[in-house]
């Protein structure tokens, strides 16, 4: 008997992919250099500290926290494919491991802070921190993810529409060449 992924498994994979995309967007938003800057290859401890405050203000910790659970769930699912009868034990082990590995999110926050600090000078980081602590900066922190979510949804719809258009046009072009798709 061939095991097929369940719809629940596919939904979980889609959530993991979406989470990866969102994390990528966060990292782009957090670590993307401004064109006129000269990034520091080895940021100072002070720059890293400033950058860490910025990435924490921007919610990196909350964004990264589900990654630990996702990794544990992925490994658990691999073992479940071996023997689904182990589900109860694997669920218990996974729950304990999620708690055990939760503090590892700090590694991601530190890594992001180092990356962020390598793209900005200390003076720029101070300005960014002041901005994100200001009323408009706090609003940007709240509203930017919403705008990105809406942009992603609009982009997904745009991609589907473009795909439909390309499909029709490609069929027409192939028909002109004697291929009926």
Q: Considering the entire predicted model, what is its pTM?
A: 0.63
Q: Render pLDDT for 59-114 as a digit per residue (tens, 0 to 9).
A: 999 888 899 999 999 999 999 998 889 999 999 999 999 999 999 999 999 999 99
CA–CA distance, 28 with 114 (Å, rounded to integer): 14
CA–CA distance, 49 with 130 (Å, rounded to integer): 14
CA–CA distance, 90 with 71 (Å, rounded to integer): 14
* More confident site: 172 or 33: 172
pLDDT, mean of residues 169-181:
93
Q: Render pLDDT for 31-67 as a digit per residue (tens, 0 to 9).
A: 454 434 455 578 999 999 999 999 999 999 988 889 9
CA–CA distance, 108 with 36 (Å, rounded to integer): 27
pLDDT at 125: 97
The answer on pLDDT for 26 being more than 60 is: no
Instruction: Decide: residue 50, CB within 10 A, 0-12 exposed, 13-18 middle, 19+ buried.
Output: buried
pLDDT at 15: 60
Structure tokens at 145: 């993810």
Name the maximum alpha-carbon separation found in the chain. Answer: 67
pLDDT at 27: 58
pLDDT at 141: 92
Confidence of residue 2 (pLDDT cuts 50, 70, 90): very low
């Amino acid at each position: 008997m061939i095991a097929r992924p369940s719809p629940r498994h596919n939904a979980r994979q889609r959530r993991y992919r979406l989470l990866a995309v969102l994390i990528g967007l966060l990292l782009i938003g957090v670590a993307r250099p401004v064109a006129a800057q000269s990034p520091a290859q080895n940021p100072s401890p002070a720059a890293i500290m400033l950058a860490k405050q910025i990435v924490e203000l921007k919610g990196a910790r909350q964004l990264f926290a589900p990654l630990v659970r996702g990794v544990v769930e992925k490994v658990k699912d691999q073992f479940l494919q071996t023997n689904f009868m182990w589900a109860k034990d694997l669920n218990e082990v996974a729950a304990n491991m999620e708690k055990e590995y939760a503090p590892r999110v700090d590694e991601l926050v530190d890594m992001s802070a180092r990356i962020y600090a390598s793209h900005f000078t200390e003076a720029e980081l101070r300005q960014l921190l002041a901005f994100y602590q200001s009323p408009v900066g706090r609003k940007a922190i709240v509203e930017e993810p919403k705008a990105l979510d809406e942009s992603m949804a609009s982009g997904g719809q745009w991609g589907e529409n473009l795909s439909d258009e390309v499909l029709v046009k490609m069929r027409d072009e192939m028909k002109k060449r004697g291929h009926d798709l």
